[in-house]
Amino acid sequence: MNPTVFSAVLGTLRDNADLQALLGGPYVYRAYGVTPAHIPSITLLENNESSKLRAGYNSFRNRDSSPTLQVDIWINTDKEDSPCTGEDADMIAEKIDEILFAPDAVAGTYGWTRNSRSTQNDTDIGGIHIAIRYLFGYVVTDT
């Protein structure tokens, strides 16, 4: 995925005050390992991407890229402080949908849809992990 687009998605989620309130801070990260550095948090990972040339490509050099972005929500259910329940994780997931599906939420992107969602009990972190995959598009101009 284009680094500028990825950074725009990351910044849009990280800077949202309502999401920060649900997480207890700006805990939105690029995924680097299997588990996140902070819990509760959200991690982002490019899952795959396809691209197709637009009509007139030879003249204008434009193509449409269609990435799949995986957004992981990490909640420690062994804690007593919020967020620590499945309901808290669901509220965070709903807020992410609300943010990403808003018109012009992430500059330069279009057509956000949720492709899949799964909830897993994650014994490594003592909690749950919700993995949501989103599809969207953006235009690339080749040089």
For the chain, how many structural domains are there in total? 1
Domain assignment of residue 51, given as a range = 1-77+123-143
For residue 99, the Cα-to-chain-centroid distance in whole angstroms is: 10
Pull the structure tokens for residue 57.
Answer: 């490509």
- Whether residue 113 is contained in a domain is answered as no
pLDDT for the residue numbered 34 = 67
Alpha helix stretches (DSSP H) within 2-136: 3-14, 17-23, 57-60, 86-101
- pTM equals 0.89
Rounded CA separation 31/45 (Å): 6
- Whether residue 115 is contained in a domain is answered as no
pLDDT for the residue numbered 36 = 79
pLDDT for the residue numbered 58 = 78
pLDDT for the residue numbered 42 = 96
* Binned average pLDDT, 10 residues per bin, the chain of 143 residues: 93 97 95 81 90 79 91 91 90 97 92 95 85 94 84
pLDDT for the residue numbered 93 = 97
- Whether residue 58 is contained in a domain is answered as yes
